[in-house]
Amino acid sequence: MPDDPYERAMARFWVKFVEEKGVAVWTMFFSSGEEKEKVVKDSLEMLKTIEEHALGKNKFFCGDKISSVDIAYGWMARWLEVLEELAGVKLLEPQKFPRLHAWMKDFKDEPIIKENLPGHDEMLVYFKHKFQK
């Protein structure tokens, strides 16, 4: 966490934001029709807010080093690609969300993250199996 009280408060805000708003992405699997359209709209709003307000010009959410905020958003760096593929919906277009794309690449390229991320294909198989039940 940052040393500055304001920056700490902002970090806590962004962690809470993804805890509350990130759930919408998961519901893409369990919805269809108008409900799915609303879920996609809500998810795009969440991503737009993060793109425009959370990252700024930083490499990571709180500066040049990974913080607890990056860890809270870490699922987006790997899981979101898999979830999009399974749901048949592309949310995170590079041209719409260039900062988030850059952050995802930087996050996945960090040695400690890179060494511990599950593979894309492994996750695809896992989620296909999990959601077919």
Q: Is the CATH number 1.20.1050.10 carried by domain 5-132?
A: yes
Q: Model-level pTM? A: 0.87
How many Å apart are CA 56 and CA 72, to the nearest integer? 17
Report pLDDT digits (tens) over 74-115.
989 888 888 888 888 889 999 999 999 999 999 999 999 999
Report pLDDT digits (tens) over 33-83.
899 899 899 999 999 999 999 988 889 999 999 999 999 999 898 888 888
Please give the radius of gyration of the chain, using alpha carbons only, rounded to the nearest integer.
15
Residue 79 makes CB contacts below 8 A (sequence gap 6+) with: 123
Q: Are 22 and 15 in contact (CB under 8 A)?
A: no
